[in-house]
Amino acid sequence: MTVFVAVAEEESFAAGARRLGMSPPAVTRAISALEDRLGVKLLDRTTRYVRVTDAGSRYLDDCRRIIHETDEADEAAAGINAEPRGHLAVTAPVLFGRMFVVPGIVEYLQRYPEMEVSAAFLDRVVNLLEEGFDVGIRIGELPDSSMRAISVGQVRRVLCASPSYLKEKGMPLSPPELFNHKIVAASAVSPVVEWKFTQGITVRVKPRLTVTSNDAAIEAVLGGMGITRLLSYQIAAYVDSSQLQAILTDFEPPSLPIHVIHREGRYASAKVRTFVDLIVARLRSVQALNQHDQS
């Protein structure tokens, strides 16, 4: 099964052999023996390509599942204290990843010297299974899926501006008053630039400045450009230091949940289990990620 999966995924006997560290003739013999035993053709071969047949496609899905479950069983048999080793792929939102996930990854790598980690920080919804990630941090409501999800906190959507801007232009007391103010929009947070509030209030704002990153929006409002909307953890340090001021807090919509998600089964591999335990504990200890609604 392992040989078949390698050849099917690489679409080449030679590439499959290199991946497994086997000779091409040995791989060819293994596939032929498997097809003879099953009595069905799993691969179509030409001089230019190797493709799975319809029967092979169904068998490939089963093989992947069985191999994964076997690996899980091996991990479980090795014991809960098995030393993590290998490669781990992690994803999180950009600013969140830089602020909270990178320090956790550094601690993890220092603790487990046999591990390697690759991290992709992206401000979009990532499909862990399709894109090959082991663990993800997701902000917002989760769709129904087979993923394991662990709640680690919540964040608020906050309007903010610099004290100097508010002193010059005045403090808006209700969402409709935003029409009288300069708006800075971060497209990653507000792609439609339509801000929803409590009591069913929706304001479609026309930004004076639109930027593609939350960092840039923060810099703009720190400089007195206007009002922006970001997540509470992104501006917590600036609010605490009085460089920014939160506004219209009575109209904030409900908080967004934060989850650590992973696609492991009941016997999570040592590398995933240890990373999830570490990052969950770290995130739950961050005050900025565990603030309650203002209302």
Q: Are residues 166 and 235 in the same domain?
A: yes
Exposure on the CB side of residue 266, measured as CA atoms within 13 A: 1
Mean pLDDT score, 33-42: 93
What pLDDT does residue 46 have?
83
> Of the candidates 47, 78, 109, which is a domain's last residue?
78
pLDDT exceeds 60 at position 188: no
**Mean per-residue pLDDT over the chain, rounded:** 87
Mean pLDDT score, 89-115: 93
What pLDDT does residue 112 have?
92
CA separation for the pair 120, 94 (Å, rounded): 8
How many structural domains comprise the chain? Answer: 3
Q: Are residues 265 and 146 in the same domain?
A: yes
Q: Are residues 144 and 274 in the same domain?
A: yes
pLDDT exceeds 70 at position 195: yes
Q: Is residue 294 part of a domain?
A: no
DSSP at 208: S
Predicted model pTM: 0.66
CA separation for the pair 72, 76 (Å, rounded): 6
Mean pLDDT score, 62-73: 80
What pLDDT does residue 266 have?
55
What pLDDT does residue 30 have?
93
Share of the chain above pLDDT 70, in %: 91
Tokens, residue 14: 């030679």
Tokens, residue 5: 């999966």
Q: Is residue 295 part of a domain?
A: no
> What is residue 112's three-state secondary structure?
coil
Q: Are 273 and 112 in contact (CB under 8 A)?
A: no
Tokens, residue 219: 């810099």
Q: Are residues 161 and 146 in the same domain?
A: no
Q: Are 262 and 276 in contact (CB under 8 A)?
A: yes
Mean pLDDT score, 180-200: 78
Q: Are residues 138 and 283 in the same domain?
A: yes
Label residue 291 by pLDDT band (50, 70, 90): low
H helix intervals, 170-246? 214-222, 232-240
The secondary structure of 26-70 as a DSSP string is HHHHHHHHHHHHHTS--EEE-SS-EEE-HHHHHHHHHHHHHHHHH
What pLDDT does residue 261 have?
92
Q: Is residue 8 part of a domain?
A: yes
What pLDDT does residue 294 have?
43
Q: Is residue 168 part of a domain?
A: yes
Q: Are residues 161 and 246 in the same domain?
A: yes
What pLDDT does residue 79 have?
60
pLDDT exceeds 90 at position 111: yes
The secondary structure of 151-185 as a DSSP string is EEEEE-EEEEE-HHHHHHH----SGGGGGGS-EEE
What pLDDT does residue 35 have?
92
Q: Are residues 28 and 138 in the same domain?
A: no
Q: Are residues 163 and 149 in the same domain?
A: no
CA-closest candidate to residue 43, choices 96, 91, 3: 3
> What is residue 88's three-state secondary structure?
strand
**CATH code of the domain covering residue 101:** 3.40.190.10
What pLDDT does residue 198 have?
87
CA separation for the pair 34, 174 (Å, rounded): 70
For 129-140, b/e burial (b = at least 16 CB within 10 A) is eeeebbbbbbbe
What pLDDT does residue 192 have?
55
Q: Are residues 227 and 175 in the same domain?
A: yes
Q: What is the pLDDT of residues 214-240, one digit of tens each?
A: 889 999 999 999 999 999 999 988 999
Q: Name residue, tokens 């220092």.
A: 110
CA separation for the pair 132, 51 (Å, rounded): 21
What pLDDT does residue 66 have?
87
> Of the candidates 78, 100, 116, which is a domain's last residue?
78
What pLDDT does residue 267 have?
52
Q: What is the pLDDT of residues 116-147, one digit of tens each?
A: 999 999 888 887 877 778 899 999 888 766 67
Q: What is the pLDDT of residues 235-265, one digit of tens each?
A: 988 999 999 999 999 999 989 999 999 876 5
Q: Which domain holds residue 235?
A: 157-251
> Of the candidates 43, 78, 113, which is a domain's last residue?
78
Q: Are 101 and 278 in contact (CB under 8 A)?
A: no
